[in-house]
Amino acid sequence: MLKVQTFMSEIAVRCFNGPLWGRFCRPMRTLFFYLSCMLILDANFLPLQAQTALSLEQIFQYKAADRSALVLERAKKEGSLTLYTSLAPTEATPLTKEFERKYGIRVEVWRGLSEGVLQRVLNESRARRFSADVVETNGPEMEILAKERMFAEFYSPHQADLPLAMIPKHRLWMPDRLNFFVVAFNTQKVKRDELPTHLEGFLNPKWKDKLGLEATDAEWMGGVMNALGDQRGSVFFKRLSEMKPDVRKGHILLAQMIASGEIQVGLTVYNANAQSLKQRGAAIDWLPIEPTLARPQGVALMKNAPHPYSALLFADFLLSPEAQQLLNNMGRPPASKLIKTELNNFNYVLTDPALVVEESDKWAQQWAKLFLVK
């Protein structure tokens, strides 16, 4: 393109200024002028998508002025996307339905626990089967998939609304919500003012046979140990294991058992799960009892996404103030700084998902020894 422009310019100069400026070149002046303008416009002013086909990396990093229109147009042509998530159906369904209503693009949802999402993505990748476009789940699982190079970095204008401390340095996934490990209690069996102000208060013998834990929360143990220090933390967890807490697998299940009264107090409940049940009238409430841990949850785009424009549009939507407010309305603490909420208006310790992954074996062994081996 540049060579053609240069050639046209040289001819124009020779014609306009040289001895040939006569009967032959004068009629050609207008033609050269318009051709040159068209070439310049094509090279410099038309958006990139009008000149070349975009690679997946270019799609995900596209920042030109026509980005919104381009992504929406191409996403509508794709017509659908596939989301893998650990969000409960009570939250995932309203989110995806609102996206479908707004854009007319169908969302196929596969839902499982975070470890199930992790294994499904890894297994499909090993089989060279690329079904997922978007993955949304817990921060540690996102870190594992990022290290396995499952994701592609993407740009969204809403990234500026996210707390910098929550964004991983590699930027292969973005935080969309938070999970807080809080204490939840059955409101018919436990009064709020009975609860201690610190986790160590649950070592009081009166709480024996009343406590519950989620079976996979070795991560919580690691965070509390780091907050309390090795010596103090070791004493706390040894004595907690002697309280014989009821250990159940699944955070939603744990919250449901508290709401039904089968477990009176849960120490590792996601406040989103407790809040969701509370808003539906269940006999459950929650408190952030120190040290309260917060874990970022994230959204990422698959590097082999079969529907890249739809995937990018969904990520934009999920990080937008509209969807972040919807998460908040459903009891899910949003990541966006634009949404003011009581769901995170307390002191907490933000965990580092990369560190959680690095220390996972260490804490898993100690957790199993204390709480899983009978």
CB 289 within 8 A of CB 277: no
pTM of the model: 0.78
Q: Shortest CA distance to 179 belongs to which of 135, 213, 140, 229? A: 140
The pLDDT value given to residue 39: 40
DSSP H/E element including 51: helix 48-51
Confidence of residue 281 (pLDDT cuts 50, 70, 90): very high
Mean pLDDT (the chain) is: 88
The pLDDT value given to residue 230: 93
CA 312 to centroid of chain Cα atoms:
13
pLDDT digits (tens, 9 = 90+) for 137-173: 999 999 999 999 999 999 999 999 999 999 999 999 9
The pLDDT value given to residue 312: 98
**Stretch 77-101: mean pLDDT:** 96
The pLDDT value given to residue 257: 98
What is the amino acid identity at position 13?
Answer: V
**Cα 341–Cα 292–Cα 268 angle in degrees, nearest 5:** 105
Tokens of 314: 């969904």
CA pair distance 72, 91, nearest whole angstrom: 24
The pLDDT value given to residue 342: 87
The pLDDT value given to residue 303: 97
**Stretch 305-323: mean pLDDT:** 98
Confidence of residue 52 (pLDDT cuts 50, 70, 90): low
Whether pLDDT at 40 is above 50: no
CA pair distance 13, 21, nearest whole angstrom: 10
**Cα 291–Cα 292–Cα 297 angle in degrees, nearest 5:** 145
Sequence-distant (6+) residues with CB within 8 A of 63 are 155
Confidence of residue 235 (pLDDT cuts 50, 70, 90): very high
Whether pLDDT at 10 is above 60: no
**Cα 119 to Cα 7, 141, 299, distances in angstroms:** 58, 9, 16
Cis status of the peptide bond prior to 291, with omega within 30 of 0 = yes
Confidence of residue 213 (pLDDT cuts 50, 70, 90): very high
What percent of the chain is modeled with pLDDT above 70?
86
